[in-house]
Structure 1
Amino acid sequence: MTHRSVDTHAVARAASLLAAALDEGRPVAPVRDLLGEHDVAAAYAVQQELTRRRLADGAVVVGRKIGLTSPAVQRQLGVDQPDFGVLFADMDVSGLPEVPSGRLLQPKAEAEIAFVLKEDLADGDLTPARIRAAVDHAVAALEIVDSRIADWDISLTDTVADNASSGLFVLAEHRLTLDEFEPRETSMRLYADDVLVSEGSGAACLGDPLNALAWLARTAREFGEPLRAGQVVLSGALGPMVPTPPGTRIRAEISSLGEVTAAFSEKAASSEESNA
């Protein structure tokens, strides 16, 4: 994707600050003063630099996440458009007995529909029919968002630079194809310690989670990193996100897809753990 030139010094400085926040287990001040509150190109340049560093350290990309698709979440964060981030293999904690709270700084949970692709979305027209055909199956998912920015004091550039405030994710085992359900018709209820704390629907995600997938397919291709077969796409929150301090038990019910659960370990983040 062709962008106007960005301030490479500011991008490098912002990337170093966010990397240090993760390494040291301490959130940092917003990076928007370095990048400009509305300079999305610079923010994605920071995200790409942090991704490059992770790949150099041996990380493996397994998909993408779409953020800020729900009007409720946009209101929570004071932004008005979607964004995307990169999912790495070590972010998938579906197989763990507990979500490792020690890896997180200030986590919140969102219930989402995750799509797993069976075709690349790299070339040609990305029509609605082609987007649907590229989906192998869908599962209920929990995205555990996190922010390296202190107190979640974020603008759009802050969250984009910070890998769209990605943290960890949990995928349910029950799979459905798009012949078996319509994502836009789903309803969602999210419980924290058996108390209903968030509700929403498929229509809350850009009108249809498949619209979000289409937006991501186009945008990722423009950035030169198109979606590929086998990748997981977290399509965006179906309702407001909720805090998940250590010890929290989360359960989401998404109609047709069923339940997805997560228990957060009692141990909170520390600098020593983050450096381990």
Structure 2
Amino acid sequence: MISNQQLDAIGDRLYEAWQARMPLDPPSATHALTIDDAYRIQQRMVARRIGQGETVIGKKIGVTSKAVQDMLDVRQPDFGILLSGMAYADGAAIPIDTLIQPRAEGEIAFFLKERLQGPGVTAQQVLAATRSVAACFEIVDSRVQDWRIRIADTVADNASCGVFAIGAERVSPQGLDLAGCAMTIEKNGEAVATGIGAAALGHPAEAVAWLANELGRRGIALEAGEPILSGSLAVLVPVKAGDALSVRIEGIGACAVSFV
């Protein structure tokens, strides 16, 4: 059995890899990690960033779509913590040298009007508690060399969080077909990925309910006002300096980022 001291040491190495922009070998290659072990590592990595002045501003769900599961060969969702240093405005130019091996995901961001905490949270309760939704980009990034990740590796690496940007337009989910809404991502003016809301665990609100219940097991709530990213609706799109991306989600809005 691996000790908490060893788990914290792995978290420190992932933090240092993030700080130096230098990827490392998968933690699972040298340690038999359970999912709970991996979340302990994640907590350590996040704590190191908080110790340097960042604050928790939201949560994200990862690996919710079959397209992403197939791409990464990871077969279950996970979650990560969104920190203040990850947030960019709609239309922002993101410095590519702050990332290691970035890929873009088009997602739906939820903003709650009331606190939710599992267990027992349903998709219907999520929708009733949601003030607004928006189109967003999550730019995932891995501190693991060449994205050679198993589920324990991405969990330990804070669900491969990189940075994110949320569209300026916010709309009420009431009356929207969030499962059926169509999404298109354009890269340098050309469509490169499409998807629908149902890609996220059948319905984006189901993904948020999964998160509320998974966090609830750990005594953590989804707080009113914080962004919750519901998971990618399509394949991951690799990006490099000079790329300009836009995402549009039917009935919800758009978001754009570029890389410099």
Class of the TM-score when normalised by the shorter of the 2 chains: over 0.9
Answer yes or no: is the 8 Å Cα contact 1:114–1:139 preserved in 2. yes
Partner of 2:10 in structure 1?
A: 14
When structure 1 is superposed on structure 2, of 230-239 and 120-129 the one drifting more is 120-129
CA deviations 1:191-240 (Å, max 9, x no partner) are 11112211111111100000000000001111122111111100000000
1:140 lines up with 2:108 in the alignment: no
Partner of 2:253 in structure 1?
A: 258
Answer yes or no: is the 8 Å Cα contact 1:31–1:158 preserved in 2. yes
Answer yes or no: is the 8 Å Cα contact 1:10–1:34 preserved in 2. no
**TM superposition shift of 1:97:** 3.5
**TM superposition shift of 1:258:** 2.3
When structure 1 is superposed on structure 2, of 235-244 and 129-138 the one drifting more is 129-138
Query: How does the TM-score come out when normalised to structure 1?
Result: 0.90
CA deviations 1:78-125 (Å, max 9, x no partner) are 111000000011211115630121211110000000001111112674
Superposed, 1:263-274 pairs within 5 Å as: 263-265=258-260
Answer yes or no: is the 8 Å Cα contact 2:122–2:206 preserved in 1. no
Query: Aligned residues, how many?
Result: 260
Match of 1:63 among 54, 58, 63: 58
Partner of 1:223 in structure 2?
A: 218
Answer yes or no: is the 8 Å Cα contact 1:35–1:157 preserved in 2. no
- Using the alignment, how far apart are the partners of 2:212 and 2:128 within structure 1? 13
Superposed, 1:145-184 pairs within 5 Å as: 145-184=140-179
Structure 2: 5+ residue stretches without partners: none
Match of 1:207 among 202, 211, 234: 202
**What code does the residue aligned with 1:153 have?**
R
Superposed, 1:43-122 pairs within 5 Å as: 43-94=38-89, 97-122=92-117
Partner of 1:32 in structure 2?
A: 28
Answer yes or no: is the 8 Å Cα contact 2:120–2:213 preserved in 1. no
Distance 1:149 1:123, change over 3 A: closer
**What code does the residue aligned with 2:25 have?**
A
Partner of 1:274 in structure 2?
A: none
Query: How does the TM-score come out when normalised to structure 2?
Result: 0.95
Answer yes or no: is the 8 Å Cα contact 2:8–2:40 preserved in 1. no
